Amino acid sequence: MSEKLKIALIGAGNIANTHIGAYKRIPGVEVYAICDIDEKRLNITANQFGIERRYTDLDKMLSELPELDAASVCVWNCNHAECTIKALNAGLHVLCEKPMAYNTAEAIAMKEAAEKNGKLLMIGFVLRFSNEAKIAKDLISKDLLGDIYYAKAQFIRRHGNPGGWFSDIERSGGGPVIDIGVHVIDLTRYLMGLPKPVSVYAVTNKKLGRRDYLKNHVDWAPLNASPSDPDTVEDFATALIRYDNGAVLSLETTYDINLPDNNTRLLCGTKGGLSIGEREMILYNDTDGFLSDVRIDKRNYKEAGDFFVAELSHFVDCITKGVKCQNPAEDGVEIMKILDAIYESARTGHEVVLD
Ligand SMILES: NC(=O)c1ccc[n+]([C@@H]2O[C@H](COP(=O)([O-])OP(=O)(O)OC[C@H]3O[C@@H](n4cnc5c(N)ncnc54)[C@H](O)[C@@H]3O)[C@@H](O)[C@H]2O)c1
């Protein structure tokens, strides 16, 4: 392997900017090249970070730069599979952003491409690298929750459809379920010990739409988002996901709703329950016969850090030090099965049973 790990960015949009900023903080890594089908976006990002090798054609980049070691795939969901498989076939290790793919069939093809080429395929479930996840994992490993049999995950945006390709089902594959719900489905499943999903019952709605008429700004908008972009995704979803160990996850996620923003994540076990919030974490249990609420003091947490830097450092360590990947492709496939089942159940009105 070359002296510095040579990374290519595939996609030059918002999250690519975050990846580049994080890679720049990791020793032994060089952001070597960048590719985007949108030349304007490509040049804005490449100029900002001083990246000389820039391409609008992925095949050209991969054939002209055989010295590349790895890539971050940061493109529209509909192109995750194609870009990832091309990079793997060119001999690169790949970190693909969430959701892993547009559907389960694509996710399986990506996993098989990684296996065929003997390369790493890591999925960008960044919340696993959050300080809260580290603390929760630690509490769980010490058996403070006991047998976790219920989780509740809410990722509720009162007004948060980013527009652009995000609201175009052809490019995104769906709305809040596949965009933000995916984060908390994965996080809770990870903390529950990665049980296999066995069935899903879900309802999705499109009641409010993108509400472009509102005067309130929405974050996360792609650079070229315009009111003329299609708005063809759900704005609301609720789902019950059963796992093979008998545990259940209740999910609620929205882009637009007449309720406040809410990021509640709850894990409930036989010995304790845990409320995971960005501001505070509370362990609910009993002490000497009394119900007790233990507030976790996260101030000056010694292992605190930026979750994107932690995620990409892990990707680099997997490649350069042979560290076991914490976010392997197989987890991405399981999550894609859940996402597909949510949409199928919502469409048919019936529970979907998974293999
Ligand atoms: N981990 C997170 O928290 C997080 C946050 C935001 C976005 N994401 C994910 O990152 C991906 C990109 O989202 P974004 O917000 O950066 O969107 P964005 O629109 O800002 O950027 C996407 C870029 O991909 C480019 N692109 C599309 N197809 C391409 C192809 N075949 N080859 C090269 N470039 C191509 C587009 O031209 C665009 O510039 C999505 O999958 C999204 O779900 C993850």
For residue range 138-175, what is the model confidence (pLDDT) as tens digits?
A: 999 999 999 999 999 999 999 999 999 999 999 999 99
CATH superfamily of 5-124: NAD(P)-binding Rossmann-like Domain (3.40.50.720)
Nearest atom (ligand 1) to Cα of 165: 19
Angle between helices 307-321 and 14-23 (to 10 degrees): 60
Which amino acid appears at position 68 of this protein? L
Local structure of residue 284 (DSSP, 8 states): E
Does residue 249 contact residue 188 with C-beta atoms inside 8 Å?
A: yes
Local structure of residue 20 (DSSP, 8 states): H
Range(s) of the chain covered by CATH 3.40.50.720: 5-124
List C-alpha distances in Å: 122 to 226, 244, 251, 258, 297.
32, 24, 24, 36, 32
For atom 24 of ligand 1, the residue with the nearest CA is 75
For atom 38 of ligand 1, the residue with the nearest CA is 13
For atom 37 of ligand 1, the residue with the nearest CA is 38
CA of 14 relative to ligand 1 center, distance in Å = 7
CA of 180 relative to ligand 1 center, distance in Å = 14
Does the model's pTM come out above 0.85?
A: yes
Nearest atom (ligand 1) to Cα of 178: 43
Q: Report strand pairing: 53-55 vs 148-156.
A: unpaired
What pLDDT is attached to residue 2? 52
83-99, pLDDT tens digit by residue? Answer: 999 999 999 999 999 99
Does residue 353 contact residue 121 with C-beta atoms inside 8 Å?
A: no
CA of 84 relative to ligand 1 center, distance in Å = 13
Which amino acid appears at position 120 of this protein? L
What pLDDT is attached to residue 279? 83
Nearest atom (ligand 1) to Cα of 10: 33
Residue recorded with tokens 């093809």? 109
CA of 13 relative to ligand 1 center, distance in Å = 6
Quote the Cα angle for 205-76-258, to 5°.
30
Ligand 1 — pocket residues by CB below 6 A? 10-16, 35-38, 41, 58, 74-77, 79, 83, 97-98, 124, 126, 164-165, 179, 222
CA of 36 relative to ligand 1 center, distance in Å = 10
CA of 282 relative to ligand 1 center, distance in Å = 34
The topology under which CATH files domain 128-305+335-353 is Dihydrodipicolinate Reductase; domain 2 (3.30.360)
Mean pLDDT for back-to-back runs of 10 residues, the chain (355 residues): 87 98 98 98 98 98 98 98 98 98 98 98 98 96 98 97 97 98 98 98 97 91 91 98 98 98 96 92 97 94 94 98 98 98 98 95
